[in-house]
Amino acid sequence: MSKAINIVSGRVVPLKETNVDTDQIIPARFLKATSRAGFGKNLFRDWRYANDDENQPRAEFVLNDPTYSGKILVAGKNFGCGSSREHAAWAIKDYGFDVVVSSFFADIFRNNALNNFLVPVQVSDEFLDQLFAAVEKDPAVEVVVNVEAQTISVPSLGLQSSFDVNNYKKTCLLNGYDDIDYLLSIKPAIEAFEQQYK
């Protein structure tokens, strides 16, 4: 299955929290796995369940609210701060999200997300507020993210904004390429560098 990603559209899940750190996204005690699979079930574990018990979902937490669904997570400023654990990106992707929208992303999280074809869409504080307001008014409102055009829009309200992604990373996302594929392709250059450098 190709990992390539371009247009993601549909309903969104609003998480109106700022400074969402990777310990909240996936607590450390769930990092003992030695494979990449299955982290989605513990996504936001301690916000989702009371007393660490899957039989005690916290009704007020957005992932437990049947009103909201979709492949696009919309969150407050400074999303993904803290630990470098890529497990955070794996958990979000494994849960079923393809896009995270925020007005600010922590650097390491952004890289980890891109390496897992989870698109970090950074918008202005104003646009983020408009997005939260739109989904509050109509939980079924459709949002469209277009990687190739670098746009995010709410067609029914005529809202649109652009987002940054460098050309190299865009090519990777659109074609399903990994950084590692590229690095392996230039191995002779790396070896030549080592010769002159040492």
Contact set with other proteins (CB under 8 A)? 16-19, 21, 23-24, 27-29, 31-36, 46, 51-52, 76-78, 81-87, 89, 104-108, 111-112, 115-116, 166-169, 178-180, 182-184, 186-187, 189-190, 193-194, 197
Question: Containing H/E element for 47?
Answer: helix 45-48
CA dihedral for 64, 65, 71, 77, sign (positive or negative): negative
- Do 43 and 89 contact (CB within 8 A), yes or no? no
59 or 158: CB nearest other proteins: 59
50 or 140: CB nearest other proteins: 50
2 or 51: CB nearest other proteins: 51
18 or 67: CB nearest other proteins: 18
CA distance 171 to 176: 8
CB of 10 to other proteins, least distance (A): 27
CB of 47 to other proteins, least distance (A): 8
Nearest C-alpha neighbor of 43 from the set 60, 59, 22: 22
19 or 150: CB nearest other proteins: 19
Q: Which residues contact 117 (CB under 8 A, 6 or more apart)?
A: 3, 4, 5, 93, 98, 173, 176
Strands 159-162 and 12-15: unpaired
CB of 50 to other proteins, least distance (A): 10
CB of 114 to other proteins, least distance (A): 9
